[in-house]
Each structure stands twice: as structure tokens, then as C-alpha cells.
Amino acid sequence: MEAARQTYAAGKVQDYLKQIGRVVVIEGKELAVFRTSGDEFYALENRNPHPKGGPLAEGIVSGHYLYDPLYDWKIDLRTGEVQAPDKGQATVYPVHIDGDTIFIGI
């Protein structure tokens, strides 16, 4: 069912700080890319699922959760799902690492 994705190289592991998001623009689409303390990488559309919107990249990362910077919603980085009591979902994109290069599928 999933539409075919194109994969883009998005820099090296060391370009990303642990637990701090970074904005990556691929083909005009703005993503927030996160590196967890365990060196897992996640990519979300840099758009807060909160009705007022806003960015995600500046949130606080804890494990594979993100606390968004504007409204403190807790979001699962793996699925984009907003945790109760709030509701919503951020769009996630697949990331894989080859050597020390990050690849993101759009």
C-alpha cells in the first residue's frame, strides 16, 4: 500500500547532537531529525500535530519520546503518535544508517 519512497543521504551521524533535534530540508519538505542517546535516528515532519502547529525540532527528547517545544505534548518518535491525554499524530519518515551516513526515505 505504501507509496514508493525515494531515499536521501542526510549527513553523518556526528552532524547530529544526541537528544537534540535538527531541521533537515529535503526537496523542500522540512523534517525534524532526532538522534536518541542510544544513537537511534528518527525523522518526523517538522510540524506539530497540535491544532496551532509550529515546529517539533526544538523539543526535549527522552528515550524514543519527544516533548514538543510549544505545548509539551508527548510524542512517540517511532510512530508519531501523540500520547494521552492529548491526541494526534505527527508524520514519520523511515531512517536507516549505512556506515555513518544517515538515509531518510521521503
Partner 1 sequence: MTSNREKLVLIGNGMAGVGTIEQILKLGGNYDITVFGSEPYPNYNRIMLSYVLEGSKNVDDIILNDWNWYKENGITLHTGTAVTRIDGESRKVIAENGLTADYDKVIIATGSNSFILPIPGSGKEGVVGFRDIADCEAMLQAAKEYNKAAVIGGGLLGLEAAKGLVNLGMDVTVVHLMEDLMERQLDHTAASMLKAELERQGVKFAMGKQTVELTGEERVSGLRFSDGTELEAQFVVMAVGIKPNVDVAKASGIEVNRGIVVDDYLQTSLENVYSVGECAEHRGACYGLVAPLFEQGNVLAKHLSGAETKPYEGSVVSTKLKISGVDVFSAGEFIDTPEHTVISAKDDWKRTYKKILLKDNMIVGAVLFGDVTESANLQKLVKQGSEMTDDIYADVMGTGCCGGGGAKKTASVESMPGEEIVCGCNGVTKKAIVDAIQDNGFTTVDEIKACTGATRSCGGCKPVVEQILQYVLGDGFEQSAKTGICGCTTLSRDEIVAEIRAKGLTTTKEVMNVLGWKQEEGCSKCRPAVNYYLGMIYPDMHEDEKESRFVNERMSANIQKDGTFTVVPRMYGGVTTPEDLKRIADVSIKYDVKVVKVTGGQRLDLIGVKKEDVPKVWEELDMPSGYAYAKSLRTVKTCVGSQFCRFGTQDSMGVGAMLERKYERLDFPAKFKMAVNGCPRNCAESCTKDIGIVGNDGGWEVFIGGNGGIKPRIADSFCKVKTDEELVEICSAVMQYYRETGNYQERTSEWVERLGLDQIKSAILDNEEERKALAQRIDFALSQVNDPWKKMLNDDSTRSALFEKAEIR
Binding site for partner 1 (CB under 8 A): 8-11, 15-20, 22-27, 30, 37, 52-55, 58-63, 65, 67, 69-70, 72, 74, 84-86
Find out whether 4 and 94 touch, Cβ atoms under 8 Å: no
Q: How far is the CB of 88 from partner 1 (least distance, A)?
A: 11
Cell matching residue 25 = 530540508
Nearer to partner 1, 21 or 92 (CB): 21
CB atoms within 10 A of CB 55: 16
Nearer to partner 1, 9 or 97 (CB): 9
Residue bearing cell 500500500: 1
